Amino acid sequence: MKIVGADVIVCCPGRNFVTLKITTDEGVTGLGDATLNGRELSVASYLKDHVCPVLIGRDPQRIEDTWQYLYRGAYWRRGPVTMSAIGAVDMALWDIKGKLAGLPVYQLLGGASREGVMAYSHATGRDIPETLEAFAEHREKGFRAIRVQCGVPGMKSVYGVSKKKGAAYEPATKGWPEEQSWSTEKYLDYVPRLFEAVREKFGFDIHLLHDAHHRLSPIEAARLGKSVEDYRLFWLEDLTPAENQEAFRLIRRHTVTPIAVGEVLNTIWDCKNLIEEQLIDYIRMTVTHAGGITHLKRVFDFASLYQVRSGSHGPSDLSPVCLGAALHLDLAIPNFGVQEYMGYHEQTMEVFRCAWRYEDGFMHPGEKPGLGVEIDEALAAKYPYEPAFLPVARLEDGTMWNW
């Protein structure tokens, strides 16, 4: 069997997505997600110009060999662009293998280790009362785990808070990158009150999560973790930028609040120390940005040796193909923790037809052979690419900061 086609589909049904479609000489096709939010066309080019041509003629069944061919063969290793491109190819090949076998991919990964996959959603509000309202709505929908983010008095914009009441949170803006401002002092003084209010109103019978989005220094992160221990969070996410893996030693020394990291990491080398030294509790890498099912499974298996569990990133900027792939892994691996599920625009769900489902707090990849996600290419063509950027953040004195 041979690969006879590798096509890149860029579309914007509500937001931009890059999808790779691989076609075999027997007519079987596979899909992979290659979306890198705010930098979409770089991966589209990497695929179109440098990967698709060398896929033609290869045996689609040789997934590991193709992974190694693209990783070692590029000479230039790692990085979000390379790993997203490899991730898309890998996903598409697993999709094809599943279709050839007549089995959903989770069966090829060893079968189900659980009945369903616990998902967490996002409750956001401009202030605490609005966030509590949103929290109640998400609980109504059955979520057993909910992330809370809310506006901070005196700050114009805060990460994770949607612009209008009840609207889904979408960080990317069309046109020029949005400039946001940040004050760690204001945030650190305020955010424990949000957790206190949630626990007071809803009790402890639901998992509570929060994302600091890379804004804190290690000692500030340690202070936050320590000061909210009584609210028993499921996790604090991305407290400090994880390029410096050793920084987490300091945080760990001061708090028992569980820590999640990894949505911007791409390979095992980005999190090897974090896992080996047990500096984190959840690893949040995704199928797309971490080199596909093949590499992410390797990371999760390594993490399982150290009691680190999965908590895959699942924002609306990774396509429904990536979420489908994540759910197959989530269902199969022994050390699953939780799966993020932000939901999608209506137009996105019309373009991508998904076998995966959400029901009463849990998700399932479905029983369709392969990944179980198809794309309506004619409809996708009606939503052409629209340039969009992620925001940037500055401190109140104008210093560039981490968004």
Q: What is the rounded CA–CA span in Å between residue 102 and residue 96?
A: 10
Contacted entry of Co ion, ligand EZ4, none for residue 368, CB cut-off 5 to 8 Å set by kind = none
Nearer to ligand EZ4, 37 or 131 (CB): 37
> Residue 324 CB, nearest distance to ligand EZ4 (Å)?
17
Contacted entry of ligand EZ4, Co ion, none for residue 317, CB cut-off 5 to 8 Å set by kind = ligand EZ4
Residue 250 near residue 218 (C-beta atoms within 8 A): yes
Residue 300 near residue 333 (C-beta atoms within 8 A): yes
> Residue 149 CB, nearest distance to Co ion (Å)?
10
Nearer to ligand EZ4, 315 or 372 (CB): 315
Q: Which residues of the chain form contacts with ligand EZ4 (CB under 6 A)?
A: 37, 171, 211, 213, 263, 313, 315, 317, 390
Q: What is the rounded CA–CA span in Å between residue 220 and residue 209?
A: 18
Nearer to Co ion, 95 or 263 (CB): 263
Contacted entry of ligand EZ4, Co ion, none for residue 15, CB cut-off 5 to 8 Å set by kind = none
Nearer to ligand EZ4, 172 or 275 (CB): 172
> Residue 37 CB, nearest distance to ligand EZ4 (Å)?
4
Nearer to ligand EZ4, 213 or 252 (CB): 213
Q: With CB under 5 A as the contact rule, which of the stretches 72-80, 107-115, 249-257, 259-267 interacts with Co ion? A: 259-267
Residue 30 near residue 70 (C-beta atoms within 8 A): no
> Residue 226 CB, nearest distance to ligand EZ4 (Å)?
22
Residue type, 342: M
Give the Cβ contact number of residue 203 at 10 Å. Answer: 8
Q: Among the options 122, 138, 207, 213, which is catalytic?
A: 213
Residue 43: CB partners within 8 Å, gap ≥ 6?
Answer: 18, 34, 35, 36, 81, 84, 85, 88
Contacted entry of ligand EZ4, Co ion, none for residue 37, CB cut-off 5 to 8 Å set by kind = ligand EZ4
Site residues for Co ion, 262-291, by CB under 5 A, read: 263
C-alpha torsion 233→331→14→141, nearest 10: -60
Size of the site for Co ion (CB under 5 A): 2
> Residue 168 CB, nearest distance to ligand EZ4 (Å)?
11
358 is catalytic: no
Quick check: 211 binds Co ion (CB under 5 A)? yes
Residue 288: CB partners within 8 Å, gap ≥ 6?
Answer: 32, 33, 34, 35, 36, 84, 87, 88, 91, 318, 319, 322, 325
Quick check: 317 binds Co ion (CB under 5 A)? no
159 is catalytic: yes
Q: Among the options 106, 159, 187, 231, which is catalytic?
A: 159
Residue 324 near residue 348 (C-beta atoms within 8 A): no
> Residue 372 CB, nearest distance to Co ion (Å)?
26
Q: Is 213 helix (H, G, I), strand (E, B) or coil?
A: coil
Contacted entry of Co ion, ligand EZ4, none for residue 87, CB cut-off 5 to 8 Å set by kind = none
**Percentage helix, strand, coil, to 5, in the chain?**
35, 20, 40
Contacted entry of Co ion, ligand EZ4, none for residue 330, CB cut-off 5 to 8 Å set by kind = none
Residue 299 near residue 274 (C-beta atoms within 8 A): no
> In the structure, how many helices (H) and strands (E) does the chain have?
14, 20
Nearer to ligand EZ4, 96 or 283 (CB): 283
Give the Cβ contact number of residue 226 at 10 Å. Answer: 13
Interface ranges with Co ion (CB under 5 A): 211, 263
User: Which amino acids are annotated catalytic?
Assistant: 159, 213
